[in-house]
Amino acid sequence: MFKHATLLTLLLVAALPLAAQRPGRGGHASQRGMGAPVFACLELTENQKIQMKSITEKHQATMEAKRKAAQEATQALHRASRTAATSEADLKALHDRASAARFELMQARRAMQQEHRAVLTADQLVKMEKYQAERQERMKNGAFGRGHRKGSRPGMGPGPR
């Protein structure tokens, strides 16, 4: 249940300022307003919306920096893994760097999510967990995107044929 709450909180967190800043298609899912159904489900008060936005804005620069660092470290690892001249020791070091960067990003997201959760009422937390469980089930059953198969990740294409 905690996994689902974390996912929904992340969507909730990312959607507030990003949906307003980046209208239209393109970019990360949270930048396309994927959190909008969550807001309707939770029926946030105006004060809660302001608090959520404030928390998100407070963490935004850190999150962007950590997201960029994780992306760059992962790309460096992928480039090196495709190069025959890269030693195992170098690959291990790059893997460790990418893993550490992703972990730092996860920690930053978690801190922000915990702040967001603190704004919600007990009823809203229950609704959020229910929404997340339903969304996770739809994702598991391939209801999101096109051609997602069991074992594939959303945004990664239809998977092997």
Q: Summarize the confidence of residues 73-89 as an average pLDDT.
A: 96
Count helices and strands in the chain by DSSP H and E runs: 5, 0
Q: Is the pLDDT of residue 115 over 90?
A: yes
Query: Is 145 a member of any domain?
Result: no
The count of structural domains within the chain is 1
What is the extent of the structural domain holding 116? 2-140
Query: Is 150 a member of any domain?
Result: no
Query: Is 158 a member of any domain?
Result: no
pTM of the entire predicted model: 0.64
Query: For position 28, what pLDDT does the model report?
Result: 41
Query: Is 146 a member of any domain?
Result: no
Share the mean pLDDT of the chain.
77
pLDDT band for position 155 (50/70/90)? low
Query: Is 76 a member of any domain?
Result: yes
* Cβ neighbours of residue 66 closer than 8 Å, sequence gap 6 or more: 101, 104, 105, 108
Is there a contact between 17 and 57 (Cβ–Cβ < 8 Å)?
A: yes
Query: Is 33 a member of any domain?
Result: yes
Q: Summarize the confidence of residues 41-50 as an average pLDDT.
A: 91
CA 114 to chain centre: 14
Query: Is 46 a member of any domain?
Result: yes
Looking at the chain, the whole-number percentage of residues with pLDDT higher than 90 is: 53
Query: Is 16 a member of any domain?
Result: yes
